[in-house]
Homo-oligomer: A and B are copies of this chain.
């Protein structure tokens, strides 16, 4: 897992506005991509792939709400031309074309004369923090979506339309927009659960053991939290403006649903904030554990040194080769009757003396001084 993640670079989250496409090529004879359309009303629905715009016009005329989904990015360099064609048909603004092509937009809501343009970022894979852009247009009787990749998290919405579950078939296009945005916001929850699991594992590891990989794992989580927050924060703002603003395309009843969706976004942000703070608190615990380990190791070193170095000196002294024959002062101890036992006792005495000296100097009492000073 660590290896795979390493290759999602920071650079990968980045691209410059206006640099993706070579705009110099003429925009005429580009084939329309396969367009997936669902039209529905209270009484039924029709779902098909269309190739010509004329088909769309028929659907628009016959059904209360039509959801048109396009995957322009699959066409690669032609993506822009495809979107420009759509822009002409639906009279979308030139700037919007840029926003769809450059798929690293922040979530936002822009109001144009006859439609509403919403950019959202959805999570598809529960193990990946990679978000995909979903651009959405709301018109009077249609919703037009452009996906970054030919996958999305909207199957639940499609199922609701197909099975007529909930109020969706009774409602207008603004409710469809709500349903899509709601599915997008809720697509964050599985990844949040996965993040929570990862934090739980690290929490166990930090509080009970000492694992050197913890900082790297924690770093991955913090980067994921940062990325998610960067995606969801603008979504909250966008939802806020959808609730507040008096946009004619959105009914008051739908606004209630959007308010609920906004609450979900706020909850996600709350959780992310908490994860961030928990991570940094765990990091601090990890630090102190590292420092405790060092203290332990040093204590071991010190104890060995205190126990073995002083008697080693004594042994060294009585290993000296001074000639006791040339002088009565030269190591007469070596000839004493109790010389050897005395030397051994001297070693023990020296060691104890050093321990006592350090103890009374207070250097050995460092570990928990209060336990002594309390009554």
Binding site for B on A (CB under 8 A): 6, 9-11, 13-14, 16-19, 93-95, 98-99, 104-106, 108, 110, 167, 186, 189-190, 192-193, 196-197, 199-200, 203-205, 207-212, 214-216, 218-219, 222-223, 226-227, 230, 256-257, 259-260, 263-264, 266-267, 270-271, 274-275, 277-278, 281-313, 315-324, 326-327, 329-331, 333-341, 343-344, 347, 354, 358, 363-364, 366-371, 373
Contacts and interface: CB of A to CB of B under 8 A. Distances in A.
A334 B327 contact: no
A345 B311 CA distance: 18
A92 to B, nearest CB: 12
B285 A200 contact: no
A95 B291 contact: no
B288 A215 contact: yes
A174 to B, nearest CB: 15
Chain A binding surface, main DSSP class:
helix
B311 A339 contact: no
A370 B208 contact: yes
A374 B325 CA distance: 56
B290 A295 contact: yes
Nearest to A9: B200
Nearest to A195: B10
A14 B320 contact: no
Contacts of A214: 288
B319 A226 contact: no
Contacts of A309: 304-305, 308-309, 312
A270 B324 CA distance: 81
A271 B14 CA distance: 9
A21 B288 CA distance: 44
B299 A363 contact: yes
A240 to B, nearest CB: 14
B304 A304 contact: no
A95 B299 contact: no
A326 to B, nearest CB: 4
A199 B305 CA distance: 38
Contacts of A304: 302, 305-306, 309-310, 354
A370 B336 contact: no
21 contacts: A10-B196, A14-B193, A16-B189, A205-B370, A208-B369, A209-B371, A210-B370, A214-B288, A215-B288, A223-B278, A226-B277, A292-B366, A304-B309, A308-B309, A308-B310, A311-B316, A312-B313, A320-B334, A326-B339, A327-B338, A327-B339
B317 A263 contact: no
Contact of A210 (B199, B313, B338, B368): B368
Given A16-B189, A326-B337, 19 more contacts: A11-B196, A16-B186, A98-B260, A208-B369, A208-B370, A215-B284, A219-B281, A227-B274, A230-B270, A294-B294, A294-B298, A295-B297, A296-B366, A297-B363, A300-B302, A301-B305, A315-B316, A315-B319, A327-B340
